Chain A
Amino acid sequence: MSIAESFVVALKALKKNGLRSCLTLLGITIGVGAVLTMIAVGNGARASIEDQVTAAGMNIITITAGNYQMKGEEQGGGVADHQAAYRRPRFREPGRDVVAFDRAAAPARLRPARYDDADRPAFRLIAHPEDDPMEKHNHPTARERLGDSAAGLGAAATLTLDDARAIRKAIAGVQYVASGVHESARVTRGDRRWFTRLHGTEPDMPRIRRSWSLAHGRFFSDAELNGSRQVIVLGSIVAERLFGAAVDPVGDEVRLWNQPFTIVGVIASNSWATAGVVGDDQFDAIYVPVTTVQTLLNLTKLNTITVTSTSVATTTRVSRDVTKLLRARHGIGEEAPDDFVVRTQASTALGKGINPQIARAIAGNVPGLEQVTLEQLSTTLEKSSRTMTALLASVAAVSLLVGGIGVMNIMLLSVTERTREIGLRMALGARPRDVMLQFLAEAVTLSLAGGVIGIFVGLAASGGVRQLLRWSAVISPAAIAAAIVVAAGVGIFFGLYPARQAARLAPIDALRFE
């Protein structure tokens, strides 16, 4: 008897005891369904944690042109190259001052504007103070800062569109890249005018800023970027100031640098918690293709490049690769410091609310601080959600075990009930292996059918979880394949003993059994 024939015979036998077969496979159905659902829920938890972490911008890397190298500072290697510039500041009065300063050495024009106070310590910088990436609203004109002549160490103009393209192309694990030129600008509509922040950027920006939603229209496209078109996306605050609340300005025109710009969209916050406010740099801002800004202002350089990594865990690695790539592209020698600053969101977060220079000093003096922050956070979350998945799945696996025992129980009962049938089949020429195959096929059919139904139950249940809990509980094709294999395995494991019992019967004893 072939295996296919065994399954035909098994199916007929199971049909004869329809209700009993259904109840038995129900055990397997519940087991497989529960295991699949639990794995899906566990993985969903993991995905949603990862989601929230990336939504918080933990995977964002910002590259700013220029560097604030302290005098006598040498470039170090290792994991936090981009932080080396801040390492080991000179302490004049150890224990009292955290940041080295030299009032005499800092002429007024080099002092950061915000801390222009004569009583405040001046940081000794080899940089244009206006290029401080933490400073938002008081930049001089772009031409002044970004003029090609100003390129070089400590100067701002070191990043180009080609750098951004190279990062996009050459570095693995990069998700989105957006180059940026940042300006202050006056935007007018008729007699209404608003002084705000202008960002020359790229179409990937709304994907990087996960807290954005489009209130109206769309963000500008690749075609508009490549064509340096005069299109503009308004922040919700700007749109409100120029057009009034709840007005859709898409298609309308505003003027910027005395040029007409067509409004293609309005961006707003997707959460009341981070709603736009005046002066916030995101929603009190306007967005124009970076190429348009470069063309109109006759620029070739960038202020920033914003990069996201595909996962939080790889952020540090990507930022390191970016440093390496840019150093190579800018032809910076071993000893020379970076002419750019690579920061991750964590280092920015660390510095929130602290004097930017102090923040830099902290970041620079605690090597790998942000690496710890990012990767530990990410792996800890990952680990705990993995443990949770394993726990849920093993509890569910117990029900699968119970289902398997149910199959064994029914098969043993069936062998006893059908002893005469076994004897008859043997009298008609069935070999022990034929009998064995027949009962094994019955057990496997039961558990496989249970498993397949269980897969549908699992799909439905995880769909329900998705609907009710808004939790991404997804069953992967691999999990489905594994479920089928496990179900068949359960059938073989729990069917083997009853099938062997049947096969070992002596023909005459089986035939005369009562």
Chain B
Amino acid sequence: MTIQFNDETFRDDYSFRNSDRAIRRFPFPFHEDSYMYSVNMEQHRGGPKDSIYEKRFDVDEHYLSEMRDRAQVLADDPLRCQSLPHMTLAGWDLLELIMVSKSEDYPDLFELHRDGDTWRWINKPMGIDDTFTFLDEATLPYGPMEYITRQAQGDFAVLDQRDDNLWMDAGMITTQADWSLDFDIGMNFFEWHAPVPLAHEKGIFVRALKFLLNIQQGAPARRLNWTMTVNPLLDTSPENYHKWGIQKTTLTPENIGAKQHLRVELQTFFRLPRSNALVFPIRCYLCSFQDLMTAPKWGRRLHRVIRDLPDELATYKGFIDNKPLMLEYLSKFDDGLPTSPGIWPEFETEPPLAK
């Protein structure tokens, strides 16, 4: 299908909007009426037609605006993109993975022509047509990781694998849920996860790491993670907390439906062939509460999940203060009827709100 790209902002006037299609395919992260951390990983091998799982790298209506927002973040703070010297080969691996995937999955938008080491890359939506020499950095305007991730939605952490651990040695991080690449660079899997509550005690990180170390070429995996964001802000970084943290206090019963967004990350994991590194794309999807409430199943479920969520998680995710306001709003969409299993909205079969 041809995508109509939005012209919108994720800052200042917040003109970001989701179309009906974007709402229908929103990755609602709760497959049941409660939530707890778990090793929730599955293979990333396609999914229902037009869902965000279908392609290796989902491209949607927000593509161009998200890339504009990224360029602005980088102009203000170049340290959001870093790559330690030994990670250049992994950067080329990533460039190849994204170019090959996008040109195969969206042939009307992207083209890749390879003649030996001479590659021509055409990105029609962004108006890019570049010819370069594969593995020769001097032929690109940026390093390979930065070049390609300025053209791909979502953050990218590139992990070196050694000594039975993963090391955050490169990344392009501009749409993060309150963590910092500049702080985490060079850390290992346990070090960068240190702030997360409850999960360490449950042994989740030990098992998750074993799973990740074994991710093989040709067999990528994925999981969903979520948090809450007031206003459709992509860049909720610690560096800029002084700008966005304060916005959390602007919620009222009247504006919460439009301002409060569920922020969902589609996290995928790919083994990179030449470097044996692992890439962790973190794709952020935002949806306002009022748009979510158009699916009766999501309305019922979100209320129950937030109501029963342990306080440690609400505190870590930064919305404990707004939880009463959220529950007051969400309770109006919960009539107590049962919900069907799975994350999909089931518009056709789920009963309408009986309230």
Q: Do A and B bind each other?
A: no
Tell me the B residues contacting A by CB distance below 8 Å: none
List residues of A whose CB falls within 8 A of some B CB.
none
